[in-house]
Amino acid sequence: MFTKEQLAKWESEGFYFDDAVKSYAVDKSKEDVTESKTQNILGYMWCNKTGKSFSKGVLPFGEETIGAIFTFSKFVINKTCSISIINLETKKVVIKNRFIIKSSRVLANFKISEIFLGCENNIDKFRIDINVINETYVSSSKDLLIRDQEILKVHYVILIPLIMKTKKWVIATKSQEDWFLHKGTKYPWESNPRLNYYRFKDWALTFKRFQERYDEKKNVWKSEASINQLKKEISKMIKDGHAEKPRASKKITRFGTSITDGTLVEHKISPAELKEPIVAEIPLFDKYYFTSYVYEESKLFAEIDDFYASIANCTVRFCAKGILEYVNENEIRATITELGIYIRDGFDFVGSQSLGFWSYKEMNVSNSILSNGSYIGINNEDYKKYRADTGMGQDFYTYSTIMITYPDFNFTL
């Protein structure tokens, strides 16, 4: 705990404190902080390497170094300070350190990996016990408030991208970092979709199980139901100006947008989570997709890899571009000249779902509940709790690159 006078002095020296810290500081005239703890150890505050405090005491994703600002009286300058960082959930000491007190305010940095290795729960809290000469500073139970800045709160989910990076899961790591580094949303349609986020042919189809499902369903677009839907989409294109109906004076016209056009347009979608359709921004080519199939991972034997961690269950969609030919007043022939095939998926933590068992110590993940004690079971709720604590964590839709084929397929409109 610090006085308002101390905070004002430190701010004038270039240190930053958020509103939570400022609101908890006391007037020196109302409370003598030096007597509430010890005479010479005045307190500490968790911070990053530049001295900036963590909002609500929560360690945010992306910090590479963690530190603490310690405050002492002038009477212990040049004395030795011993500290112990303790996990309040397990009561274990995770870091011990010593340093010489060179001034009344000391910024000490620690290896963040040692803090992470001390995490054994979905959420862990850490405090620092301080000893100088014969004085020991220990936060009392009444001070165990996140806004007191003496308690560091660590969500295990911020370790998961580090594990993924170690395993060289490029797309999964990218997706996690994207989620953590953007302002929180509760649903993927509340943010802009990510286009060309991963390659359909050169990445997704390299996973055998996905490729086998694709081989099974790749001709679904030829079905009667699919072609009938495409006819409806062509009518919509004509209405929207993305196709022209041929006539006797102009027998050949074209339908379809540029399959690679990433222009975003507003369109009604019907998420399973909502009872009514909503308007969301989608890429123009997706507005006129005419058929799709669902890919689902095995519930019992799922292989946890880059594909599973970044996509898992998804939808493969088909869009088309081609030629309309006037035959006579009663007949128009359509020819699909380009067929676009792509993945559309939501990277989100909506609903309840188990996400595997993760171990920072082993730098590994398992889908077995029988994994040893260093593995922590993670589910959607863990990400939602992080978002509630930090305001960060953005759900979003992803689109793969579009694989284009040239079928030269004819039908009567």
**CATH code for the domain of 112:** 2.60.40.1940
Distance (Å, rounded) from C-alpha 153 to C-alpha 156? Answer: 10
Query: Could you give the dihedral angle defined by the CA atoms of residues 142, 148, 149 and 152, in that order, rounded to the nearest 10 degrees?
Result: 40
**Structural domain total, the chain:** 2
Name the average pLDDT for the chain. Answer: 87
Structural domain contains residue 297: yes
**Whether residue 277 is found in the same domain as residue 212:** yes
**234 and 283 both lie in a single domain:** yes
Q: Mean pLDDT throughout 347-371? A: 87
Same domain, 97 and 226: no
The per-residue pLDDT for range 213-235, each reduced to its tens digit, is 999 999 999 999 999 999 999 99
pLDDT of amino acid 43: 87
376 lies in some domain: no
Indicate whether 149 pLDDT > 50. Answer: yes
190 & 130 share domain: no
The amino acid sitting at 407 is: P
Q: pLDDT digit string (tens) for 394-412? A: 999 999 999 999 998 999 9
Q: What are phi and psi of 350, to 5 degrees?
A: -75, 140
Give mean pLDDT, residues 334-344.
96
Res. 36 pLDDT band, cuts 50 70 90: very low
pLDDT digits (tens, 9 = 90+) for 158-194: 999 999 999 999 999 999 999 999 999 999 999 999 9
Say yes or no: 209 and 128 in one domain. Answer: no
CA distance 19 to 147: 9
360 is a domain residue: no
Number of neighbours of residue 285 by Cβ within 10 angstroms: 25
The 10 Å Cβ neighbour count of residue 383 is 22
Q: Could you tell me if 218 and 146 lie in one domain?
A: no
200 and 133 both lie in a single domain: no
Position 108, amino acid: A
User: Angle at CA 382, nearest 5°, toward 277 and 185?
Assistant: 35
Tell me: do 203 and 288 sit in the same domain. yes
pLDDT per position as a tens digit, 50-103: 888 888 889 999 988 899 999 999 999 999 999 999 999 999 999 999 999 999
Residue 354 placed within a domain: no
Selected residue with higher pLDDT from 273 and 70: 70
- Identify whether residues 247 and 212 lie together within a single domain: yes
Is the pLDDT at 17 greater than 90? The verdict is no
Secondary structure of the chain: what % helix, strand, coil (to 5)? 30, 35, 35
Q: For residue 336, what are the contacts with CB-CB under 8 A and spacing of at least 6?
A: 230, 320, 321, 322, 407, 408, 409, 410
Tokens at 173, concatenated:
């790591």
Residue 406 is part of which domain span?
Answer: 182-348+395-412
- Residue 133 shares a structural domain with residue 220: no
Q: Answer whether residue 287 is part of any domain.
A: yes
> Quick check: is 177 in a domain?
no
Residue 38 has pLDDT above 60, yes or no: yes
339 and 191 fall within a common domain: yes
Tracing tokens 């998926």 back to the chain, one arrives at 345
Query: Is position 175 within any domain?
Result: no
**Of residues 25 and 395, more confidently modeled:** 395
Of residues 355 and 273, which shows the higher confidence score? 355
Q: Does the structure show a pLDDT above 70 at 243?
A: yes
pLDDT tier at 330, thresholds 50, 70, 90: confident
Is 28's pLDDT higher than 50? no
Domain assignment present for 194: yes
Report percent pLDDT > 70 for the chain: 88
Same domain, 215 and 140: no
Which pLDDT belongs to residue 34?
A: 36
Per-residue model confidence (pLDDT) at position 292: 97
pLDDT value of position 94:
95
Which residues have a Cβ under 8 Å from the Cβ of 41 and sit 6 or more positions away? 70, 71, 72, 73, 76, 130, 132, 135, 136, 137
